[in-house]
Structure 1
Amino acid sequence: MAELTFPQDYLQINDLYRWSSKFERHGEYQPWRHAGKTRAQHRHQVENDWLEAKTEDGESLKVLRALVTLALRIVAEDLDASESPEILHELSATFAVEYIILRDPAEEQLGGFCEFNCVHNVWPFWRQYVYETLKSASLPVITVPFFPGQKDGATNRKGPKRRIAKKERKTLPGA
């Protein structure tokens, strides 16, 4: 008999959807003051839960549902070091990822799976949400990088800081 591979032989992705989302302005973004002087702060959290479900045929299924919350906060950097940064706007979204349990995995396998794979699965949807929300709010759109993954068990990795010049918004005559 072939050896089982985790997660392929244990879990099957069933659904992924936005559970909740929020966008909030704390201050007004002013291009003359803030352009090139902001930075993004990121955070994420994963909570998982076991659910019981039934198929159309009445067969019982065990389902793993992970709620992945991702958040982004844009802060102004132009204040004195003694002051806390001015928060301009924040957005967050929680995505639910549901997996059908084909075989019961070990508890230690699930911790790493939820922290890495679940976040990895929702990341493209997060990137799209950030883009669409900032664009529709008429704010500078930041590019959310590719999912950084994990390094030596760490969940939050910081890469080199790079700045990209922001495009100036032009007002059309008669607008």
Structure 2
Amino acid sequence: MHESLKRAISALQITDVYLKNSSVHTMEQWDPKRADISSFKYQFLHVIDKSEIIDVEENEGPDSDKVTSKSFFLVYITLGSRVVDQNALEDEGDKKHAKEPFAQIEGTFVAEYSISDDFDKSDEEALKSFALSNASFHVWPYWREYLMSTCTRLNLPKIPLPVKQFTKS
């Protein structure tokens, strides 16, 4: 493990994971409950969009004038899955894509970490390394649950995502 990643791991503590936005779409005039799913194929999306540091100031209490400052590191990750007809896939170079998916589910999640006071917030290498190597592990269970429950609500076949190992990109 690189020293920069070790610095970030020791300085960051997960405080929250939440859904920032989402979109769900099914093709018009398509009924997933009565569809022939034998030719369905699932395509997946996983993108670490951005990260940022925010500083928050809070009063220590209603009777206190003392203000404390806390810093947080936020990582935005977009995940998605779509249902396409395997027979309708087209070649585009060395990739295959569908003209229009039958269904598409996407969500952007935020992983929020408190930053210890002794960490140098200008250490971009450590923060970037952490965002690329660790944040997806914290978001993945939330995405798995969101995808499974949304599939249920849409009458789509359930997509039980595995526990995932992520690689640096």
TMscore range, shorter length: 0.7 to 0.9
1:63 aligned to 67, 72, 91, which one? Answer: 72
Residue 6 of structure 1 aligns to a residue in which SS? helix
Matched to 1:45, the amino acid is V
Cα deviation for residue 30 of structure 1 reads 5.5
Equivalent AA in structure 2 for residue 63 of structure 1: F
Counterpart in the other structure of 2:64: none
Q: Which residue of 1 aligns with 2:166?
A: 149
Question: Which aligned pairs between 1:37-48 and structure 2 lie closer than 5 A?
Answer: 37-46=39-48, 47-48=50-51
Inter-partner Cα distance in structure 1 for 2:104 and 2:9: 36
Please give the alpha-carbon distance, in whole angstroms, between the structure 1 residues aligned to 2:90 and 2:78.
30
Q: Render the CA deviation track for 1:98-142: whole Å, top value 9, x for unaligned.
A: 111111262122222112311110100000001000011111112
Higher relative contact order (CA 8 A, sep 6+): 2
**Secondary structure of the structure 2 residue equivalent to 1:49:** strand
Equivalent pairs: percent with the same residue? 25
Equivalent in 121, 136, 140 of residue 119 of structure 1: 136
How many corresponding residue pairs? 150
**Please, what TM-score do these two structures have when normalized by structure 1?**
0.74
1:129 to 126, 146, 151: 146
Which amino acid in structure 2 is aligned with residue 54 of structure 1?
Answer: E
Counterpart Cα distance in 2 of 1:63 and 1:80: 43
**1:139 alignment partner, SS class:** coil
Unaligned runs of 5+ in 2: 61-66
Distance of 1:80 and 1:149 partners within structure 2: 27
Q: 5+ residue gaps in structure 1?
A: 156-175
1:91 pairs with one of 83, 91, 105: 105
The worse-fitting range, judged by mean Cα deviation, of 124-133 and 110-119 is 110-119
After superposition, the Cα gap between the structure-2 partners of 1:80 and 1:109, relative to the gap in structure 1 and judged at 3 Å, is: closer
Alignment map for 1:28-39 (pairs within 5 Å): 28-29=30-31, 34-39=36-41
Alignment of 1:5-84 (within 5 A): 5-26=6-27, 28-29=30-31, 34-46=36-48, 47-57=50-60, 58-79=67-88, 81=90
From the two aligned structures, give the one with the greater helix fraction: 2
More moved, 24-33 vs 8-17: 24-33
